[in-house]
Amino acid sequence: MINILLVSPEKSTFKELETAFQEKKITAKWTDSAQNALLMFSKEKFDLFITHEHLTDMTGRELIEKALVKNAMMNSVAASTLSHDDFHKAYEGLGVLMQFPPAPGKEHVQNLLNHLNRITLIAGQQDKSRGEQD
């Protein structure tokens, strides 16, 4: 079971995401600021967070930077209006899983879970390969 945090100034922004995760029996918590999110990361283990690009206290990009200093293993997704190329330039090196539109829907949740599964599969192949060597 994965633990997800949604970060956006308005809860309604990610309402469809929250519902889509619930339908898949995945609990997604929500908070309204980057500072709250960082506090929650210190207290609880999250596998993934999804942040809006504009938060009240910093940008989504800044939150991702600060979060990976705490725990680089935690995955992130940013909801952004940037074009594909501009997003890539702005977020390069931060290891963001994917870009969501500003108000993502159910189909984006499915794409995200498919992508996470792919990464898990690659990591699994790694473990299997190591097991064969041992």
Partner 1 sequence: MKNGRIAIPSNGQGGLDGTRSGHFGHCDVFTLVDVEDSEIKDVSILRNQEHVQGGCMVPVNLLSENRVNALVVGGIGMRPLMGFRQVGIDVYHDDQRPGIGTVVKDLIAGNLARISNDQVCGGGGGQM
Residues contacting 113, CB < 8 A, separation 6+: 24
Q: Is 3 exposed, middle or buried (0-12, 13-18, 19+ CB in 10 A)?
A: middle
84 near partner 1 (CB under 8 A): no
* Token couple for 52: 């809006």
**Contact window for partner 1 (CB under 8 A) among 2-10, 15-23, 25-33, 64-72:** 64-72
Query: DSSP letter string over 41-92?
Result: HHHS--SEEEEESB-SSSBHHHHHHHHHHH-TTSEEEEE--S-HHHHHHHHT
95 near partner 1 (CB under 8 A): yes
Instruction: Pick the closer one to partner 1 by CB: 45 or 127.
Output: 127
128 near partner 1 (CB under 8 A): no
1 near partner 1 (CB under 8 A): no
Q: Which of 96, 104, 108, 109: binder of partner 1 (CB under 8 A)?
A: 96
Contacting residues toward partner 1, per CB under 8 A: 65, 68-69, 71-73, 75, 89, 92-98, 115, 118-119, 122-123, 125-127, 129-130
